[in-house]
Amino acid sequence: TDIARAKEAERLRLLDKSPDTNWLAMLAQRPLKELADKTGQSAFISKFDGTSVRSITCVAPDTPVRTYVMPGMAMPVHATASAKAILAFQPEDVQSRMLSSELPKLTDKTKISIPELLHEFSIIKEQGYATDLAEHVAGLGSIAVPIRVPQLAVAYAVGLTGPYSRIIEQDF
């Protein structure tokens, strides 16, 4: 019924606005583990709280070489796939605010040109996913997709990260 859908939408809005993300970390463990096991890469979820994009939880595969995204870590909005996947779907004023401070050059691949980043955001919206091509950490790559929830703004992304050669070149 319409009333039940409205109540469910309100519950989702309340959970989305909560600073406590433990509920999501718990719910995400099994699907992230399946994704990590299937791909052999670390799977993680990030959240935009209006001022920063932070990782919520990460599951690393059971492999000899693995990367890990620390929960609570701020994701540079101009250099990580998950942050770009979220920011691409924000209104222009939010994008401008998030890109208004000086953007550090983290690797030789990091984009710091705002027009270049805004162009990348338009491509992300079109293709439905974002990449980090060794822009945050040399030698690492990431792919992320926004998590779209009906009646809510994009605030979450799920991603994979690992060695650049595996994530981007071999197994894209």
pLDDT of res. 166 = 86
Judged against a pLDDT cut of 60, whether residue 35 lies above it is answered with yes
Backbone angles phi, psi at 80, to 5 degrees: -125, 145
pTM for this predicted structure: 0.84
Of the pLDDT bands very low, low, confident and very high (cuts 50, 70, 90), residue 68 is low
Share of the chain above pLDDT 70, in %: 82
Judged against a pLDDT cut of 80, whether residue 8 lies above it is answered with no
What amino acid occupies position 155? Answer: A
- Give the tens place of pLDDT for each residue, 150-161: 777 899 999 999
Look at residue 120 and give its three-state secondary structure.
Answer: helix
Backbone angles phi, psi at 104, to 5 degrees: -75, 145
Torsion of CA 151, 36, 47, 26, to 10 degrees: 80
- Give the tens place of pLDDT for each residue, 77-122: 999 999 999 999 999 999 999 998 889 999 999 999 999 999 999 9
- C-alpha to C-alpha distance for 60 and 163, rounded to whole angstroms: 13
Regarding predicted confidence, which is higher, 9 or 144? 144
